[in-house]
């Protein structure tokens, strides 16, 4: 059996539920009265139960300050499921069995007595495994992560595990810090009470099937992996576009901006998967090692480099699909003189053997014409000595586009001859569609991520050094903007593809952005 076949089997085995035995587990959700629990976590856990993917037995305990009984907690979640479930109607038989495993612990996060109450509730489990195999999901403000882990440790629910085989895990939501110092401080707080292997930093983007498929596409198909390097690739474009403006999140966005909100996590995550070297295995640490290596290979920039290669932007009033949009500075809770970026574009260089000399162009923004995430691998043009010399045409360079969302798929673009006597060439496309090939079913990202966390598989979660490396990159860029107001060429009309400066970034290299097309 050849190496490619071996890798195919490994990838297939990881994708199946049988890749690792999932033991009975108690899931405790802190912040159980919050929006994330109702919109994402409980629907995800319900769908795992619907698919018989959860271990047997299991328990789910909500921990929050509001006064509720088990029955009222279940009733609220049932109502939320009617609204947020991706499959409707809700299966009453499955819900009934699922709800029987739901409990509520009313307590304040800062109250030590509440954790003793939680421990008593867990200790009443009939199965010994439900008392020790514990997953704590911290759906709270990051400032509370350290306090929660300390209280859990003090009552014996969280034991620091130094040698692997940990039975207690912490799942923590982003934003994981707001800069490198705060991320390091937060990491230090968690590490006091839990080993790094017990900390699962979640980024829902990594739970998307199409993002996970990047590794499968690259490393199980030798015809593409052979092309994935400086010898054939001219440049790479990564676009994460959003049609929505900041809306009611103006206060949050004033603190984050597009750089913190999107680049530090989602965009750099995609970059690391697109550019990383093949891992020595599909074990979590091997995959995460290569992602960190890729991020560490990004060339540091001087202030002069940043001024030339980094573009920020901010939208002013316009229209998206005929819908009027206010200027960012007119959004609720936004400073009317704000210089916060709602758009970022940049050119990065990766200084390693594979990518030496290949520019990576990244961009993300709000109030753009479509909501879409895609990666375009643009190959070097063919020599213009045959068809171009004869027919005077300019050959279109080949490309592979990975559409991550929506209308998920992969497109190969190449040149073909138009039927007829004349030698006329035209770009054509071969497209693979997830919906057409596998059906419309695509699980929510949180379903996959919760299942991986229950199975203690950290592959799709972010390691400490990865978080800190990403913040190091982002902080340097943000520092270069300090004290610099936005210029006219950095504003863009809502409903367009960003400021003029972003187009000029590629035009200086004789290239242009390839804009994602709307779903038809």
Choose among 139, 275, 268: nearest CA to 218.
Answer: 275
Burial of 191 (0-12, 13-18, 19+ CB in 10 A): middle
Question: What DSSP string describes 286-305?
Answer: HHHHHHHHHHHTBPP--HHH
Q: Where are the alpha helices (DSSP H) in 124-229?
A: 129-132, 145-154, 180-191, 209-219, 222-225
Please report where in the chains the tokens 């859990």 appear, as a residue.
152
N- to C-terminal Cα separation, the chain: 42
Helix count (H) and strand count (E) of the chain? 20, 17
Q: What is the DSSP letter of 386?
A: S
Choose among 121, 141, 107: nearest CA to 60.
Answer: 121
Which of the residues 151, 193, 204, 266 is marked catalytic? 266
Lookup: tokens for 293: 């290596």
157 with 118: CB under 8 angstroms? yes
Q: Which helix (H) or strand (E) holds 311?
A: strand 310-316
Give the number of other CB atoms < 10 A from CB of residue 458.
Answer: 22
Chain-centre distance for alpha carbon 369: 21
Residues in the chain: 520
Q: Is 266 a catalytic residue?
A: yes
Choose among 136, 182, 36: nearest CA to 478.
Answer: 182
Using H for helix, E for strand and C for coil, what is the string for 442-488?
CCCHHHHHHHHHHCCCCCCCECHHHHHHHHHHHHHHHHHHCCCCCCH
Which residues face 316 on adjacent strands?
493
Active-site positions?
266
């Amino acid at each position: 059996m050849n190496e490619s076949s071996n890798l195919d089997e490994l990838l297939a085995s990881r994708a199946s539920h049988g890749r690792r035995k999932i033991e009975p587990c108690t899931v405790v959700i802190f912040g159980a009265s919050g929006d994330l629990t109702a919109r994402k976590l409980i629907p995800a856990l319900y769908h795992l139960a619907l698919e018989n993917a959860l271990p047997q037995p299991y328990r789910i305990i909500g921990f929050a300050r509001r006064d509720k009984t088990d029955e009222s907690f279940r009733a609220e979640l049932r109502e939320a499921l009617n609204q947020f479930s991706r499959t409707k109607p809700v299966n009453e038989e499955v819900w009934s069995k699922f709800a029987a495993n739901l409990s509520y612990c009313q307590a304040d996060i800062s109250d030590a007595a509440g954790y003793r109450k939680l421990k008593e509730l867990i200790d009443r489990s009939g199965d010994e495994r439900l008392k020790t195999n514990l997953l704590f999901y911290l759906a709270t403000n990051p400032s509370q992560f350290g306090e929660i882990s300390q209280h859990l440790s003090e009552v014996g629910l969280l034991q620091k595990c130094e040698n692997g085989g940990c039975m207690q895990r912490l799942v923590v939501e982003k934003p994981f810090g707001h800069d490198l110092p705060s991320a390091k401080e937060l990491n230090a707080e968690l590490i006091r009470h839990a080993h790094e292997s017990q900390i699962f930093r979640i980024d829902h983007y990594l739970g998307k099937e199409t993002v996970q498929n990047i590794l499968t596409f690259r490393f199980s198909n030798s015809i593409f992996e052979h092309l994935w390097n400086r010898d054939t690739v001219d440049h790479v474009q990564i676009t994460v576009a959003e049609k929505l403006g900041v809306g009611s999140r103006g206060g949050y966005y004033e603190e984050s901006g597009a750089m913190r909100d999107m680049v530090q996590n989602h965009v750099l995550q995609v970059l690391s998967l697109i550019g990383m070297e093949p891992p020595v295995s599909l074990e979590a640490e091997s995959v995460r090692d290569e992602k960190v290596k890729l991020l560490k290979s990004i060339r540091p920039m001087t202030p002069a480099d940043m001024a030339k290669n980094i573009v920020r932007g901010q939208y002013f009033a316009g229209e998206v699909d005929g819908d009027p949009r206010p200027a960012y500075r007119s959004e609720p809770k936004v400073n009317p003189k704000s210089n916060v970026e709602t758009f970022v574009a940049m050119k990065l260089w990766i200084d390693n053997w594979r990518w030496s000399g290949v520019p990576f162009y990244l961009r993300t923004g709000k109030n753009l014409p479509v909501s879409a995430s895609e990666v375009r691998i643009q190959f070097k043009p063919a020599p213009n000595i045959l068809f171009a010399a004869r027919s005077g045409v300019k050959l279109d360079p080949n490309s592979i586009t990975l559409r991550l969302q929506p209308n998920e798929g992969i497109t190969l673009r190449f040149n073909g001859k138009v039927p007829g006597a004349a030698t006329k060439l035209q770009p054509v496309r071969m497209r693979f569609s997830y919906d057409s090939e596998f059906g419309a079913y695509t699980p929510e990202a949180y379903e996959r991520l919760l299942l991986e966390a229950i199975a203690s598989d950290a592959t799709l979660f972010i390691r400490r050094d990865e978080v800190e490396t990403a913040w190091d990159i982002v902080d340097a860029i943000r520092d270069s903007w300090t004290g610099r107001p936005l210029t006219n060429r950095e504003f863009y009309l809502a409903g367009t593809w960003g400021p003029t400066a972003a187009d000029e970034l590629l035009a200086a290299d004789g290239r242009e952005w390839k804009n994602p097309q709307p779903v038809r």
